Amino acid sequence: MNLDDLPIRDELRGSTPYGAPQLDVPVALNTNENSYPVPEAVVEAIVAAVREEASGLNRYPDREATALRADLARYLGHDLTVANVWAANGSNEVLQELLQAFGGPGRTALGFTPAYSMHPILSRGTGTDWIDGRRNDDFSVDAESAAADVRKHDPDVVFLCSPNNPTGTALGLDVVEAVLAESRGMVIVDEAYAEFRRPGTPSAISRLGLSPRLVVTRTMSKAFALAGARLGYLAADPAVVDAIQLVRLPYHLSSITQAAARAALAHTDALLATVEAIKEQRDRIVSSLRTRGLEVVPSDANFVLFGGLGDQRAVWQRMLTQGVLIRDVGLPGYLRVTAGTPAETDAFLEALDFSLKGQA
C-alpha cells in the first residue's frame, strides 16, 4: 500500500513534501536558523510566562491573540495597530491562510522562481494553480519584467520574497509598487529575513498605505532565534485580517505559544543582538567565497547562495562527510549556506576547501 493507492487529490499525485534533511551533524547550516541559542535571561522570561499559563490550559487560548498582535504591531512600528496584524504558527501558516482566503480552486498564484519552495507547495495544497515568473540571470527581479509577468498571467496572488530565499537578494520597492499597480490580486511580500537586510533596502511595510491588497509577512524564526516556537505574522490593511478570520482554525495559536512569543518580544533587544554578528559572518562568507573564485550572489539575508561548483550534489555530500550540512536547493552548480557563528564559518570554509579539492 502506498499513497498512490489512496483516493488522494489528483494534483497531489507524484508531488514531494517539503524536506530539508534533519540530520544530527556538528555544523547544521541548512535551514537558515539562528545558530545562537536563546539567551538565558530570555529563557527565564519564557519559562515564567509559560508557567503562568499552565494552570489555565483547561481553557482555550485567546482566539484573536490580541495582546500578542499588539506587541507585534509595536515591534513593527509604522503606526500599525493590532487591527493590522495577524499571527499564526510560523509564517508558513500565515501564507497558507492567505492562500485559503485569496487563492483556491480556479485561481492562480505567481512567484519569481527560484524563491521560497513552500510558496508553490502551499499553493498546490490549497488548490491554487502555480505560475513561475521570471528572474534575471543574476537572480534579480526588475520592476519592468515583474510587471510584464503580472500583466501576462493576471494572477490572483503574487508572491514577492525580499530578501529572497534561496538567493538572498532583496527587492527594490519599485518592484513592489510596479507589481501592485499592475495586478488586481493580492501582493504578498515575504520578508522572513527582513532584519538581516543591508542599509538601503526598506521594508514593503512602508508601502502598506498604497493598497489594501498589499500584505507583508514576517517571522520570529530567523532574527529572533525562535524557530522552535513557531510564530509568524503579517502586516496589512485590517480588511485582510478580517478575511483571514474566515479561514483560520479557531484557537490555532496555543496559550503557550502566545505567552512564549510575548515574553520573547519583551526582550527584543537581547534577541536581536545576534543579528549584527550574523551579518558579519554572512559578509565574511561572501568575501571568502569570492576570494576562492566562486560565483557569489549578493545577500541581504542570513545565508549565501554560491555557484560555480560543477556537481553541487557531490560537493554537498563531501561536506557532509566533514560534519557540515548545507543546502542543495536544486539549482545546478549552486549551494546555499546559512551564516552562523564565527566557528561555524571556519568549519564551513574548511569543509568546502576539502570538498573542492576532492573535485579537482
Interface residue list for ligand PMP (CB under 6 A): 32, 90-92, 116, 161, 165, 190, 192, 219, 221, 227, 232
Rounded least distance, CB 231 to ligand PMP, Å: 7
In angstroms, the CA 122 to CA 128 distance is 8
CA distance 170 to 189: 11
**Closest separation in Å from C-beta 96 to ligand PMP:** 10
In terms of CB distance, is 90 or 155 closer to ligand PMP?
Answer: 90
Nearer to ligand PMP by C-beta: 247 or 329?
A: 329
Q: What is the CA radius of gyration of the chain?
A: 21
CB atoms under 10 Å from CB of 302, counted, come to 28
Nearest distance from C-beta of residue 245 to ligand PMP, angstroms = 20
- Please, which residue, 148 or 329, has the CB nearer to ligand PMP? 329
Nearest distance from residue 112's CB to ligand PMP, in Å?
12
State the residue number with the nearest CB to ligand PMP. 90
The span from the CA of 271 to the CA of 283, in Å, is: 21
Nearest distance from residue 115's CB to ligand PMP, in Å? 7
**Residue from 298, 272, 273, 276 nearest 285 by CA:** 298
159 strand-pairing partners: 111, 188
Q: Cell 543591508 appears where? A: 198
Amino acid at site 274: T
Residue closer to ligand PMP (CB basis): 49 or 226: 226
Least Cβ distance, residue 2 to ligand PMP (angstroms): 28
Question: What's the distance, CA 318 to chain centroid?
Answer: 27
Contact 300/198 with Cβ under 8 angstroms? yes
Nearer to ligand PMP, 99 or 349 (CB): 99
Judged by CB, which is closer to ligand PMP: 173, or 261?
261
